[in-house]
Amino acid sequence: MGGGGLISLSSETENLKHLDTLAHSDIIFTMSDEILAKVNYQRMVLGKKINEDLSVISTSDGSFLYLIFPKITFIKDSGRRMGKCASELIISLIASGDNAKRFI
């Protein structure tokens, strides 16, 4: 893989904005089946191959993950539930004054 980096696409606006970045990226993380479908299409247009030129990671509780080839790494979970858990953790860290670095 090249010298790109990690980009996270969580909205259609960001997806379109980062199309050029996709051409130079090594890893893509998506938060929905819809965005994953768009990224999958764009990487095909760019001629990038999953697991050779690009690593794709996604979180979803939908079925699109089972329909694309090659298979990608994913977390089967609800983005809403994950966001709620992350928010609760952040609030508890703020309330306790605990050092967040131990969670990273």
Instruction: Check residue 11 and give its pLDDT.
Output: 57
Q: How do residues 22-47 score in pLDDT, each as one tens digit?
A: 777 788 888 888 888 888 888 888 88
| This prediction's pTM | 0.59
In the prediction, which pLDDT does 15 show? 55
> DSSP E strands: which ranges in 1-104?
6-9, 27-30, 55-60, 73-76
Q: Over 50: is that where the pLDDT of 9 sits?
A: yes
Residue 86 has, within 13 A of its CA and on its CB side, a CA count of 7
Mean pLDDT for the chain? 76
Domains and CATH numbers, the chain: 6-77 (3.40.50.2300)
